[in-house]
Amino acid sequence: MSKVIRKNIKVVLAFLIGVSFTKIGVFALNKIESKDVSYTPTSSNVKNVQEAIEELYTLTKENETNGYIIVENGVRYTGLNPNNYVLFNNESWRIIGIFDGRIKIIKEEPIGNYAWNTTEINDWENSSLYNYLNTTYYNSLNSISKSMVENATWRIGGWTSTDITPLQMYEYEENTQGASSTVTKATGYIGLMSASDYGYASSECYKKMKLNNYSNSLCINTNWLKKGAEWTITPSSYTSNVAFFINGYANPDINYVTSSLAVRPSLYLKSEVSIKEGAGTRINPFILE
């Protein structure tokens, strides 16, 4: 059956029309505009996930509080409750965004509490949590879901504190402005959201606030990634035994890697994964194939 959804101007147009470079060479913010169209998904001619999100995603409401999509260092969902729900491994996951043509998703609910590392060192690829997620947890996925997961490169450059904006944290994670940690990337199937992912998820604060001010009610009430105290993948270079986490006040902060905190797995989907149906809402999530 035909579904009324919103069709968006291609991201490439968003970059070409009205986009300017800043002094540090990153793209300035542009909101993707949209309009109602009729769209009938067909199993014989499905779009890949990237095209579907760029052109065919459904907004909760057209305002910054409830959720929309932005283009800044990726195509990102932001706001309190954007329509970014996806059924993966027969569970509810949500789409963080598109990065270098790869779709990044996160499990909606935690899988339990774990230490980032059982030894006091914040080397992600040699951590106990990395090992658990990329062996035990990855092998627990059903065969169809496992076939969709890319063995991806994760950018894990770190910084000393959260007294910076989401954009600055992203640049340190990507090592474009010189991360202060010695290890800046890792390879694996399963990871976690980054500290900058969390910052960008607040539509009202990612342009206005430093990450250490995210306990502000304005940020809390416009951030779909806020769940409670949980780990991010981003190490801190304050000392070698701490990493960034989201604290109980909704602020990104640093904590000892041996601390036990909630974990929500994140992963990148392969580019050939397609959306079979769905509108991205909680009751009608995207169905992958």
Task: Provide the pLDDT for residue 218.
Answer: 95
Task: Provide the pLDDT for residue 49.
Answer: 54
Task: Provide the pLDDT for residue 58.
Answer: 41
Q: Regarding beta strands 230-235 and 242-246, do their DSSP bridges make them parallel or antiparallel, or are they unpaired?
A: antiparallel
Examine the pLDDT at 196 and tell me if it is beyond 50: yes
Examine the pLDDT at 18 and tell me if it is beyond 60: no
Examine the pLDDT at 101 and tell me if it is beyond 80: no
Read off the pLDDT band of 26 (50, 70, 90).
Answer: very low
Q: Where are the domains of the chain?
A: 3-106+269-288, 111-265
Examine the pLDDT at 9 and tell me if it is beyond 90: no
Query: What does pLDDT average to over the chain?
Result: 80
Task: Provide the pLDDT for residue 54.
Answer: 53
Three-class SS of 7-67: EECCHHHHHHCCCCECCCCCECCEECCEEEEEECCCCCCCCEHHHHHHHHCCCCCCCCCCC
Task: Provide the pLDDT for residue 98.
Answer: 84
Mean pLDDT of 103-112: 96
218 and 258 Cβ atoms separated by less than 8 Å: no
7 and 35 Cβ atoms separated by less than 8 Å: yes
Higher pLDDT, 282 or 56: 282
Examine the pLDDT at 184 and tell me if it is beyond 90: no
Read off the pLDDT band of 52 (50, 70, 90).
Answer: low
Mean pLDDT of 234-239: 92
Q: What is the pLDDT of residues 275-286, one digit of tens each?
A: 788 888 899 998
280 and 57 Cβ atoms separated by less than 8 Å: yes
Percent of the chain with pLDDT over 70: 76
Read off the pLDDT band of 65 (50, 70, 90).
Answer: low
Read off the pLDDT band of 180 (50, 70, 90).
Answer: low
Examine the pLDDT at 289 and tell me if it is beyond 70: yes
Provide the strand spans (E) within 219-270: 230-235, 242-246, 252-256, 260-262, 266-269
The pTM score is 0.81
Mean pLDDT of 42-64: 47
Read off the pLDDT band of 13 (50, 70, 90).
Answer: very low
Mean pLDDT of 226-237: 95
67 and 83 Cβ atoms separated by less than 8 Å: yes
Q: Tell me which DSSP letter residue 175 carries.
A: T
51 and 8 Cβ atoms separated by less than 8 Å: no
How far, CA to CA in Å, does 271 sit from each of 29, 82, 98, 151, 173? 25, 22, 11, 12, 23
